[in-house]
Amino acid sequence: MSTNFAEAPGGNAAKGAKIFKTKCSQCHVAEKGGGHKQGPNLGGLFGRHTGSADGYSYSKANKDKNIVWSEETLYEYLLNPKKYIPGTKMVFAGLKKEQDRADIIAYLKEATA
């Protein structure tokens, strides 16, 4: 199981939208300007530092990780969020399938821009 985005299959944004709806939308809004839910709004995600969306109360672990969200970092994070950021508040177990991670990243690249 690869954590390297360069080795990931091509992503399908339409399939990613379905995955987001079933796995992510209960806690996150993708569109810029949307409110926070249990998790932060993901608008403007790419290029943003962890723990930096205005108005959301992040865990210390998330703030201290201090990485910039990119296709590469998100691909590894989505495999196992608690392993990537130990101490995160995110309760999601992760997406084990490489194709699912590639699809959701393709969707998020469009939806969060």
CA dihedral 65, 55, 30, 1 (to 10 degrees): 20
Give the Å distances, CA to CA, from 54 to 20, 32, 37, 46, 48: 22, 12, 13, 15, 11
Q: What is the pLDDT of residue 3?
A: 80
Q: What is the pTM of this model?
A: 0.93
Q: What is the pLDDT of residue 27?
A: 96
CA nearest to 8, candidates 69, 84, 63, 74: 74
Digits of tens for pLDDT over the chain (113 positions)? Answer: 678 899 899 999 999 999 999 999 999 999 999 999 999 999 999 999 999 999 999 999 999 999 999 999 999 999 999 999 999 999 999 999 999 999 999 999 999 99
